[in-house]
Amino acid sequence: MIKITMIFGEGAVRKYDESKELPSQEWLQDNGGVADENAFRTEAEYNAYVAGANAAAGWTDYRIIRHKDEPEDTDTAHGEAVWLRLGVTVQGSREEIEKILEGDTETLRELLEAGRYEINGETYIPGTAIEEYNAKYRTNFDAKDIDFHISI
């Protein structure tokens, strides 16, 4: 489950940017603006909402605050999986990055769990992973490397 808080209105966004706290309902009533909670079951629903907000007219400013995703009781494990290599850029303090460069797995795990990364590198499914998938699930996909050019 993807949860967000949406802040509408130039003054309300400025208040949030300055304090990093949501403006209170009283502040919003006195100064204008709206803070609205939303939840989405899928990344596609969230992306559609963001696209709509970006295309909307009428507000001079807005901010989308994405909260940590939470699994739902209705979420189930998928029956299939495929291995792929995912290119990412990890962001952290100089100390954190240097720990990673020394092979510190725990620091890398902490940064990834905190969402401090951007998917933007070489991403692909190697042909050998497709061969393994074919053997396991009795499919017949072409066992050649599949490259993805994405930036999230």
Please check whether residue 23 is in contact with residue 12, taking contact to mean a CB–CB distance below 8 angstroms: yes
Tell me the pLDDT tens digit for each residue of 116-142: 888 887 888 899 988 998 888 888 899
C-alpha 27/C-alpha 11 separation (Å) is 10
Angle, CA 34 vertex, CA 33 and CA 37 arms, to 5°: 160
Tell me the pLDDT tens digit for each residue of 17-31: 899 888 999 999 999
Predicted confidence at residue 95, as pLDDT, reads 94
Predicted confidence at residue 54, as pLDDT, reads 73
The pTM (predicted TM-score) of the whole model is: 0.42
Amino acid at 39: A
C-alpha 15/C-alpha 21 separation (Å) is 8
Tokens of 125: 């499914």
Predicted confidence at residue 106, as pLDDT, reads 93
Which stretches of the chain are DSSP H helices? 10-19, 25-31, 43-55, 94-101, 105-113, 127-137
Tell me the pLDDT tens digit for each residue of 47-105: 888 777 777 655 566 677 777 776 665 444 556 788 888 888 899 999 999 999 999 99
Angle, CA 49 vertex, CA 32 and CA 29 arms, to 5°: 10
Predicted confidence at residue 73, as pLDDT, reads 54
Predicted confidence at residue 133, as pLDDT, reads 87
Return the bridge partners of 125, or none: 146
